[in-house]
Structure 1
Amino acid sequence: MADWTVTGLGWHDGVPRLGATDWQREHAREITAGLRIGWRVSGPRRCTGVRSSRGHRRCPYREQVAPQGGSSQCETCQRADPGLALARDQILDDGRPYRLYLAWFGAGLLKVGLTGEHRGIARLLDQAAPVFTFVGRGRLPAVRRAELTVAQAGLARERVRSSVKAAAWWGLAEVADRRAELLACRREVLRLLAGHGIELLPDSPVVDQVGLFGLAEGAPAAYRKVTALSPGATLVGTVRPAIGSHLFIDPQGADGHPQDQPLLLDTRLLAGWGLAAADDVRGCSGLGLRDCVRPSEPGAQDALF
């Protein structure tokens, strides 16, 4: 990439693509397993604008946003964002059909949510749902009421934090077990929503995405999570399969050799930063990092020495 500002990583037609703009053109690069990257971050971090069904609209003010954490949008663009308006219940009915889904993120970790039918399974890919199924469809008000009914009944939660999802990657159940847990929840949900005013989908397939995300063997036993970026930071290495908005990267050290522990990057941290090719650097630098290690098995005896 020449000098581009990152707008975010999203799944399109089942493929993860990192979007960027030079404020005149848009570009999206496929981020596939085995891709070799060499990126240098530049600032300041600026608002990423608004994305809707009609495409991406750049921030008219090129507003600066907080360099670490928080939103990659300025307040004006947040107010104009239809996705945020939907999440905040500011859209009552837009006339389009929506689907109600159940997603399994780990043992005892089930989520209920809704997505526009026109988006297919993109939302479930964006959310890195290991397993999911659709349970109903209808207009937005009815599907939203059904979502709240399921959540209030305690069958599934409305939100699962990224840190909770990542922690669950260390202990994903076997294929049959995760499928069985999701199907058991779906049976309860279908009973609960009978006569609720939405079209139920009892025969919708259960989709398992664990292999697609490269999590068949779980997450690496130890890795370092990228917690912060700053101007001049570099990322050099080879990416593993994308997991929603997250990338495991096998990094290259300053000596030009691979490092032992992979990095976990939530690409939402990149949104708003400038990104350019870094062919002249040999390793990663300028990153805030936190060590993450697989917890000991319950009941495991501590080592004596």
Structure 2
Amino acid sequence: MRWKAGQPAIGWWRPGGGERGSPLSYGQRLAFTAVGERHCTGVWRAGKRTSCPAGRTVPGRAGSAQCPECARLDRSFSVAADTNAGDPRPYRVYLAWFGPGMVKVGITAEERGPARLLEQGAVTWTWLGRGPLMAARRTEELLRAALGVPDRIAYARKRAVRAGLPAEPERAREVAELHARAVELAGWPESLERLGCAVTDHAGPFGLAGLPVPERVVAGLLPGAAVVGRLVGAAGPDLHFADGLVVDTRLLAGWELAAAPADAVTDAPLALVVPPAEADGRAGQDGLF
């Protein structure tokens, strides 16, 4: 899944052929089947993808489409894993709201703009500050501790509440109040500039108005398994279909996908979407961000 200029797209890649994207539009029919086996997607480094040298396969239900060796190589030079502390680019600290009681503080490279917020499925958000990487990281830790917010929120919790969120003014007010508390805290690094509150809402790009209550989520793919439905919304890595089905596109990575027959129906393994109250206790952390 990719977010380009605020719009969702599916990213495709083949060895020697580079990457391309297929923009998605709400209302369109999506119908595809998985072909062959799911393979490791290799390593992304210096603006390009390198194939897995061993061509390993990965489990169909795994959230990551990397084999352990490629994952370790990816994290050996990663800002997210604190193994690339010398990154000279300016960074921004943000405050992201995903639902009632679901707020986090994070950082992203300034050049990426709001892409990271779209990728995470942040419904409402604002910038908090900008500066060098390590100053941004120290500020992130300061604000997490002072505001009592986590560094990760599981996608299962995010998707469970998307169809029943408070109105935009209410969620904007919660973000603005937290921003006001954050910028008044002592201990910000001198090299990090505080930024004024400018709340952005992603209900439009995500297609949240009238979004059906998510009932089932694709739990993984199998060779020959089909996924069919009418796309009505997307948030982070999730595609929402009109019949209440959700497709976590992280589970598509590593598969070859082919067009499904005209009469195909969804027969991929499915799981029930856990209600919000249960998701709080049952959903584990499923990604660094």
What is the TM-score with the length of structure 2 in the denominator? 0.87
Q: Is the 8 A contact 2:42 2:50 kept in 1?
A: yes
Corresponding residue of 2:261: 279
Distance 1:104 1:89 in 2: 24
Corresponding residue of 1:255: none
CA positional deviation for 1:295: 6.9
CA radius of gyration, larger in: 1
Number of positions where the alignment pairs a residue of Structure 1 with one of Structure 2: 276
Q: Is the 8 A contact 2:147 2:182 kept in 1?
A: no
Corresponding residue of 2:120: 127
SS where residue 24 of structure 1 aligns?
Answer: coil
Paired residue type of 2:272: D
Corresponding residue of 1:6: none
Distance 2:172 2:77 in 1: 31
Q: Is the 8 A contact 1:228 1:289 kept in 2?
A: yes
SS where residue 61 of structure 1 aligns?
Answer: coil
Paired residue type of 2:11: G
Q: Deviations over 1:29-52 (max 9, x none)?
A: 112212222201023110112234
SS where residue 167 of structure 1 aligns?
Answer: helix
Q: Deviations over 1:248-274 (max 9, x none)?
A: 123xxxxxxxxxx33111000111111
Paired residue type of 2:271: R
The structure 2 residue matched to 1:229, chosen from 199, 221, 230, is 221
Q: Is the 8 A contact 2:163 2:213 kept in 1?
A: yes
**Structure 1: gaps of 5 or more residues:** 1-8, 251-260, 297-305
Corresponding residue of 2:92: 99
Paired residue type of 1:292: V
Measured on the aligned residues, the alpha-carbon RMSD in Å equals: 2.2
Corresponding residue of 1:88: 81
Distance 1:99 1:228 in 2: 34
Farther off after superposition, 60-69 or 36-45: 60-69
Corresponding residue of 1:48: 41
Seq. identity, % = 37
Correspondence 1:199 to 2:180: no
Paired residue type of 1:18: I
SS where residue 211 of structure 1 aligns?
Answer: helix
Corresponding residue of 2:244: 262
1:211-222 mapped onto 2 (5 Å cutoff)? 211-217=204-210, 219-221=211-213
Corresponding residue of 2:166: 173
What is the TM-score with the length of structure 1 in the denominator? 0.83
CA positional deviation for 1:199: 3.0
Distance 2:263 2:76 in 1: 38
Farther off after superposition, 131-140 or 13-22: 13-22
Corresponding residue of 2:271: 290
Farther off after superposition, 96-105 or 59-68: 59-68
CA positional deviation for 1:123: 0.4
CA positional deviation for 1:130: 0.2
Q: Deviations over 1:72-113 (max 9, x none)?
A: 112332233269722221121211111000001112221100
Paired residue type of 1:290: A
